[in-house]
Amino acid sequence: MNFWQICLNILSTYGQSFLLGIRMTLLISLSGTLIGLLIGLMVGGFRAVTLDYTASTAAKILKKIFDIITKIYIDIFRGTPMMVQAVFLYFALLNVIHWDKLTAAIFVISINTGAYMAEIIRSGIQAVDKGQTEAARSLGMSNAQTMMEVVLPQAIINAFPSIGNEFIVNIKDSSVLMIISISDLMFQAKSIAGTTYHFEQTYFVTAMIYFVLTKTASVILNFIEKKMNNKTVSLPQSVTDPKNMTLANNGED
């Protein structure tokens, strides 16, 4: 049998195992991305808030503490490998909360993604024109209302490509969670390879499956992105330099 025949053979014999693995991979990466997005919205949202002089001293102190804690969280989770985070947290907390591996895996990928999402959301918020905030505040909207109604909706649209990218990264990177024996695609691949001894072919098939998953996800995300942009397309407009305007208009009586 040549290489391709073995690949097909593996795929047909172990199709069921691959499917289970795909299901687990998608479950972990999708829930990790969504929970991570929620964490990111909260952490990144609060981090981007700048309190003006109208805020109370207590609020300013709380904000400072929040900023320091979240900065540590973001730095640690972005600065260490998720594989290490998974093993450490799973075993460290096993005796405390006796959790199962799936919960641990989703927990780890969620807070890991959350750290990245927080920065994505924060920069998305900072990309929203300051005038939007000023207009909302001038109408009497509070800091929180301005954030929820005006800034965050625009920030999410700004950040959508990066948010989608996190999902694609998670499909691939969830493979490291097999370190705590999560039966995801990578875990299945390893056990199939161990049974058949066709390492090359098994991992080739596995790579192809990962590729199809990420490619499909990226096509879907691009489609959504296009739909969002269609709704918000701007017509071309000229921008006139205000300095020229005064001269052009004050001439005649």
Partner 1 sequence: MTDQNIVEIRNIHKRFGDLEVLKGVDFDVRQQEVICLIGKSGSGKSTLLRCINLLEKPDDGEIRVFGEDILHIRNVDAYRAKVGMCFQQFNLFNNMNVLKNCMISQERVLKRPASEAREKALYYLNKVGMSEFIHADSRNLSGGQKQRVAIARALCMDPKLMLFDEPTSALDPEMVGEVLNVMKQLAEEGLTMIIVTHEMNFAREVADRVVFMDQGVIEEQGSPEKIFLNPLSPRTAEFLARSIH
Residues making contact with partner 1 (CB under 8 A) = 52-54, 129, 131-132, 134-142, 145, 149-150, 153-154, 157, 231-235, 237-240, 242, 245-246, 248-253
CA–CA separation, 225 and 217 (whole Å): 12
Nearer to partner 1, 2 or 240 (CB): 240
Q: Minimum distance from CB of 245 to partner 1 (Å)? A: 6
Q: Minimum distance from CB of 97 to partner 1 (Å)? A: 40
In which residue are the tokens 């300095």 written? 243
Q: Minimum distance from CB of 226 to partner 1 (Å)? A: 16
Q: Minimum distance from CB of 49 to partner 1 (Å)? A: 15
Pick left, alpha or beta for residue 197 (phi over 0 → left; psi -120 to 50 → alpha; otherwise beta): left
Burial class (CB in 10 A: 0-12, 13-18, 19+), 170: buried
Helix (H, G, I), strand (E, B) or coil at 187: helix
Residues 6 or more apart in contact with residue 198 via CB below 8 angstroms: 6, 10
Nearer to partner 1, 161 or 194 (CB): 161
Nearer to partner 1, 145 or 218 (CB): 145
Where are the extended beta strands (E) located within 45-101?
none
Nearer to partner 1, 95 or 230 (CB): 230
CA–CA separation, 151 and 124 (whole Å): 9
Nearer to partner 1, 104 or 152 (CB): 152
Nearer to partner 1, 79 or 242 (CB): 242
Q: Minimum distance from CB of 56 to partner 1 (Å)? A: 9
Up-side HSE of residue 230: CA atoms within 13 Å toward CB?
6
Q: Minimum distance from CB of 252 to partner 1 (Å)? A: 8
Query: CA 65 → CA 47, 52, 72, 166, distances in Å?
Result: 11, 17, 11, 28
Query: Which has the closest alpha carbon to 83: 21, 173, 184?
Result: 173
The two tokens of residue 202 are 């098994």
Nearer to partner 1, 12 or 232 (CB): 232
Q: Minimum distance from CB of 54 to partner 1 (Å)? A: 4
> One-letter amino acid identity for 85?
Q
